[in-house]
Amino acid sequence: MKVELDRARCTGLGICESLASDFFEIADDGSLLVLKDEVTDADLMEVEEAIAGCPTEALRLKKEEAGDE
């Protein structure tokens, strides 16, 4: 699974960073950095919580299809 970011929706509140700091970081300019976009089963719950916590719905998970690798 991969994390997808809709930059037009992201306001840089940092909720995702506080819930999944290995995946998300707010840069000095207030923009969101996706540190890792590949989500393993071990990290799935943490990333799902961060996505659910995003008030602007700027984040989502996309299942990788065969050939996307």
Asked whether 13 and 59 are in contact (CB, 8 A), the reply is no
User: Does some domain include residue 69?
Assistant: no
Could you tell me if 51 and 60 are in contact, meaning their C-beta atoms sit under 8 angstroms apart?
yes
Average the pLDDT over each of 37-41, 44-48, 64-68 and give the range with the smallest value: 64-68
The number of distinct structural domains making up the chain is: 1
Amino acid at 10: C
Note the pLDDT tens digit of each residue in 7-32: 999 999 999 999 999 999 999 999 99
Provide, for the chain, the percentages of residues in helix, strand and coil under a 3-state DSSP scheme, each rounded to the nearest 5: 20, 20, 60
In which domain, by residue range, is 55 found? Answer: 2-62
What gap in Å lies between CA 11 and CA 56, rounded to an integer? 8
pTM, two decimals, is 0.88
Would 7 be classed as within a structural domain?
yes
**Looking at residue 56, which CATH number applies to its domain?**
3.30.70.20
Task: Please give the Cα distance from 48 to 60 (Å, whole number).
Answer: 8
Percent of the chain with pLDDT over 70: 94
- 30 lies in a domain? yes
